[in-house]
Structure 1
Amino acid sequence: MAGIGIAMLIMWCLTWCMASALSVKYYEQTCPQVEHIVAGAVHKATMNDKTVPAALLRMHFHDCFIRGCDASVLLESKGKKKAEKDGPANISLHAFYVIENAKKAVEAECPGVVSCADILALAARDAVALSGGPTWEVPKGRKDGRISNAIETRQLPAPVFNISQLEQSFSERGLSLKDLVALSGGHTLGFAHCSSFENRIHNFNAKQDIDPSLNPSLAAKLRSICPAHNKMKNAGAPLDSTSTTFDNAYYKLLLQGNTIFSSDQALLTHPKTKALVSKYAASQKEFHRAFVKSIIKMGSINGGTEIRLHCKLVR
């Protein structure tokens, strides 16, 4: 137990030492146009593809949960050495080109100054705002990492996690149960493939084929989309009823048994997280306020050591 306590203390120190080094004015003198440039890249991509905001938000989350917010999720595999983006949990990540385009434009304006990690954090903020969600001042000054291993994506919280597993995953990164519930609200954007929720609609346990906590009408719909032994690679369903709008519909649906992941349903199995779900279902304003606090906190987890000139390459 002592070892666990020391490890947690180190993680908290890394998180908050990094947070104290970040500043919303970090590029005020060296690259004052960075936010405008990134916002333009995100806006242009979103006009052509409505799935871009969900992809960028998920990308930021998946980056920060592995080695901190160091843009390691953007690095490409090299030979037999598979990078994070090619790990099982990240195969469906997309819209990397948005960050690449933003980086090229930023480099043209301010060579060698802005990290890919900061560009990704800014892009995630812009993605939420473009989807009708809140906006916020992004603390900047992150550095990029040089290491990216596909095997480490096993550390990401999985859609089949129970509340104990979720709590442990978040606490290891200095994040609380409140952060867990607020950041889970990001599931108001996006799409899930069958493999992420088939555990709830086929062979749930020895006695039941379907998870009894799942609304029967939704279960029937999901089973028609994702039949047993489904081989359709891109089959799946939207994460909520307004999957391109950043609202609090996710929490309302969760209380009705109408969310897709086991990890969503798990939030109702703990009194504290269940109370927060109810709070955010009742007030979109409260959800937005909590989400902003939690994503800034998550985005401040310590990461890399340098500024990469190319987001997908170490040079």
Structure 2
Amino acid sequence: MGLSTAFTELFGVQHPIALAPMGGSAGGALTAAVSRGGGLGLLGSGNGDQEWLARELPLAADGVAGKPWGIGFQAWAIDVDVVVRALEHRPAAVMLSFGDPGPFAERIREAGTTLIIQVTDLEEARRALDLGADVIVAQGTEAGGHGARHGRSTLPFVPVVVDLAAPVPVLAAGGIADGRGVAAALALGVDGALIGTRFQATAEALVAPATARAIVEGRGEDTERNRVLDIARASRWPARYSARTLGHPFLDSWRGREDELAATPEARQEYQDALARGTIPALPHWAGEAVDLIHDLPSAADLVGALTAQAEDALARAGRR
């Protein structure tokens, strides 16, 4: 069983499924499970925290059982030294998202490592092609976690990137949580799907039990893209990126008042005090619009194959129609 695409052929994987390198939650165990399941696991190192990487990188590199794996970084938050240290573990791919990938692209390619660049608009897509990206991820605004503050929806955005990038393989991201979404993405001309929220609700994800429960119980209409929680947390995320999350008490209090929140240190201290009391989640519940489709916490290795089987069924049904 498996769907053969340019992506599966490039990496020698069975299924056209990649794990979104979600900062902090896509740890070594989840990365390894996705790769063992026949997809491409991508470790979510985010800002390249050295203590986190020292713990999680070996779990990924040693746990994949010889299968390819990779690592993802937020381009705005790292320096070249972080990438160099990651390359020492010989990942099959390095993925760069959010910010200018230029300072890192040549070093990754010189190492013989596949360069994946995630884009949220056509300007970023053209920049990725100019830098020689081997794979492009086209992220729609339905995606959970961070993305373009004023992004485009997956359905119309992805095929435009496919046309622009050809013959470079493209993965779709944003609002894909089951095999029907994978099938729809393939029908748009991509070579696979990069999936985040669905893999947060798995046995291997590095998330608190309350977060996993919130995702399983969540509804798409309860998600919204905002900067309130980044401002409240004193996060350094650039203003051009917002984050799609489930509901949050602090968001209800400050929705639409980002500038006022940024200018009110007492409010940010109130957020920290609420964290200390345990009255708000330790982290926002990042979740995409397809969260309604998530009802259980399976093994990520099993989930990869299940997603592909569902996609094959959906494509077969569409063909019969």
Structure 1 length-normalised TM: 0.30
Higher strand content, 1 or 2: 2
Where relative contact order (Cα < 8 A, 6+ residues apart) is larger, the structure is 1
Higher helix content, 1 or 2: 1
Structure 2 length-normalised TM: 0.30
